[in-house]
Amino acid sequence: MPELPEVETTRRGVAPLVTGLTIKQAWHSDLNMRFPWPENMSHMVGLHVVDVKRRAKLLMLALSDGSHLMIHLGMSGVVRVLSHDHTEARHDHFKLFLSQDRVLVLNDPRRFGFVDWERGDWQQNKHIQHLGPEPLSSAFDGAHLHAQAQRKSQVIKSMIMDNHVVVGVGNIYASEALFKAGIHPHRQAKRISAKRLESLASAIKSVLKAAIAAGGTTLKDFKQSDGKPGYFQQQLLVYGRSSQPCLQCQTRIKKTKTGQRATFYCPRCQH
Ligand SMILES: [Zn+2]
C-alpha cells in the first residue's frame, strides 16, 4: 500500500514532468473508485498545472484557476506520466491529457483510490480539513505529541497512527519509530514522558526521511509504462522480524497485534 513516502516520491517524480503544462482533456473509466468521480471535469480544459503538492497521502495538482485536482492512490494506485500514444493498460482509470504530448495516468487495480477536484479552499476539502500536521513539518514535534497524549486514553502505537494526531505514520513506520525511540508499542500514551515523546517525534521523522530517500532511486521510473515506481522498503529494524534476534540486544523480536494491525517490538529494548 502506498504510504506517505511513496506518495512524496510520486510527487517528486511527477512534478517536473507536468508543471507548467496545459490540460487538454480529462478522462475517467466507467468504473467506480472509492468515491464518485468529480463532476464537470471537462471544465479543466485550458487550465495549467502550476504546482504539484502533497498533503498526507493526497497528491494535489494546483491548477491555474486556484483549484486543486486531488489524487489518492488507495491500496494499489500508481501514477505515471506517459506520451499520448501510450499503450492502454488494464486498470487505467484516470487520464489527464496535457500539452507537450504528455498524459498523467492513474492505474489502480483495486480501485480503492479516488480523484477529487476541489474548486474552493483545498485546506477545507473534506479529505483534508480534519487531518493532523505533516510529520516532517515543524508543527509536528514532541510537544505536539505530548499535548495530544494528555487528552487520550490510547496506547502509543494507536495514537501515532491516528490521522487526527499526525498524518502518514503507517503500520510499518509506527513499529520502526517506536523501536528507535525504545518505547513499548502498548504503553499508554499519557504515561510517557515529554522527553521520550520528543525522541519518538524525531524517530518518526527519521524513518520517514529514510524511506523517502530510498524512494529517490525510483524517480526515473515515473516515465516508464512498465516501471514499478514508488514502492520500496527501507532496511527494517523490527517490522517483519518476528522471532529473529534484535539488532541491538539479540533478544527475540516479538509479534503482537494492536487493534487489527501487526506490531513488532523488542521486549528488552522497548519499555
Ligand atoms: Zn533489543
Please provide the DSSP assignment of 190-211 as one string: GGS-HHHHHHHHHHHHHHHHHH
* Arithmetic mean of pLDDT, 105-133: 96
Cα separation values, 217 from 7, 56, 57, 138, 213, Å:
14, 22, 20, 26, 8
* Arithmetic mean of pLDDT, 218-245: 69
* pLDDT exceeds cutoff 60 at 226: no
List, as ranges, residues with CB under 5 A of the ion ligand 1.
246, 248-249, 251, 266, 268-269
pTM of the predicted model as reported, rounded to 2 decimal places: 0.91
Structural domains of the chain sorted by starting position, each given as residue range(s) with its CATH number in brackets: 4-124 (3.20.190.10), 142-265 (1.10.8.50)
Q: Coil, helix or strand for 244?
A: coil
Q: Are 263 and 256 in contact (CB under 8 A)?
A: yes
Q: What is the pLDDT of residues 49-91, one digit of tens each?
A: 999 999 999 999 999 999 999 999 998 899 999 999 999 999 9
Å from CA of 168 to ligand 1 middle: 26
- pLDDT for res 6: 87
CA distance 119 to 40: 11
Does 54 participate in catalysis according to the annotation? no
- pLDDT for res 229: 46
- Kindly state the cell numbers that stand for 85: 500514444
Nearest to 205 by CA among 135, 117, 110: 135
Mean pLDDT for all residues in the chain: 92
* pLDDT exceeds cutoff 50 at 36: yes
Does 5 participate in catalysis according to the annotation? no
Cα separation values, 13 from 67, 78, 88, Å:
21, 12, 21
Does 3 participate in catalysis according to the annotation? yes
* pLDDT exceeds cutoff 60 at 192: yes
- pLDDT for res 2: 84
- pLDDT for res 129: 96
Q: What is the pLDDT of residues 165-183, one digit of tens each?
A: 999 999 989 999 999 999 9
